Amino acid sequence: MRNIYNYTELRRRYSFCLFLGVILFVFGCGEQKAQQDNIQQSGISSSEANELAESEPIADWKFLFDGKTTAGWRGINQENFPSEGWKIEKGMLWSNSTDGKESGNGGDIITIEQFDDFVLDWEWKMITRGGNSGVKYFVKEGLSDNEKYGVGLEYQILDDENHPWMLEGKMQPNDYYTLASLYEIYPAKNKSPEPLGEWNHSRIVVKGNKVEHWLNNRIVVQYERGNEDFRKRVAESKFSKFKNFGEAEQGHILLQDHGGKVAFRNIKIKEFE
């Protein structure tokens, strides 16, 4: 009886351990898959800054900001990076003003390189309540009387809900002044921004004249540079005074100084051949 008891007890313990092992394995796999899905859906790394996700081949991407220095950037219409208005901290590039002035502090900064067909990908968070900024592309220099201001197609970055224009009724929800829109030209639709002070993930895709704006893994703007509708909208905007606005074959990438605190990180680009 003693031997039979030991054998029965052993089988019972073995079955329990096997059951527990299966549960832990399934839970662990589910958690790992969820983490991988989050990385793939976001298109960014799970780390804080400047590391590609496993799903992104290193050869395909180039970081425009190394997380530590201003290498590759300078002030618009300047040879050097601005001495004020911008700072680097903990892998982030900050526009570090609070007075709300457009290009009134350090001024806009641009990439030294110019680009044509590309995917531009970055993260950003707005700190200033009601704050304003933007990422511009196909930027050319010497077009504005304000040497610190850059002219180009703008992916609008804005705290819509708390912006003074919204509060005063000068701007309507989801019009072409609001977040992720092509500023003054095409409004963003079906967007889902993160709360003030949280990280958002943005992307601009340019292939030929076809352009997409993305916000948090969702296409919010699609348009074609240079077609009849685009030119009509430009003609009705404040950019009508600029000849062939937005139709340059290539241009700089620009981060806007608009007098608010906004942080950028994981700024990277993939060029189409």
Predicted pLDDT of residue 101: 81
Q: What is the largest CA-CA distance in the chain?
A: 100
Confidence of residue 161 (pLDDT cuts 50, 70, 90): very high
Q: What is the mean pLDDT of residues 209-235?
A: 98
CA 163 to chain centre: 20
Name the nearest CA neighbour of 136 among 185, 171, 92: 185
Predicted pLDDT of residue 97: 81
Q: Of the spans 8-12, 28-32, 121-125, which averages the highest pLDDT?
A: 121-125
Per the DSSP assignment, residues forming a β-bridge with 186 are 182
The secondary structure of the chain in percent helix, strand, coil, rounded to multiples of 5, reads: 25, 30, 45
DSSP line for 150-215: -EEEEEEEE-GGG-HHHHTTSS-TTSTTSTTSBTTTB---S--PPPTTS-EEEEEEEETTEEEEEE
At residue 218, does pLDDT exceed 50? yes
At residue 20, does pLDDT exceed 70? no
Q: Which two tokens stand for residue 185?
A: 């030209």
Percent of the chain with pLDDT over 90: 72
Q: What is the mean pLDDT of residues 246-272?
A: 95
Q: Which residue has the higher pLDDT, 54 or 137?
A: 137
- Residue-wise pLDDT for 102-115, tens only, equals 887 889 999 999 99
Q: Which of 5-9, 11-15, 28-32, 36-40 has the lowest mean pLDDT?
A: 36-40
At residue 272, does pLDDT exceed 80? yes
Per the DSSP assignment, residues forming a β-bridge with 235 are none
Q: What is the mean pLDDT of residues 216-231?
A: 98
At residue 267, does pLDDT exceed 70? yes
At residue 176, does pLDDT exceed 80? yes
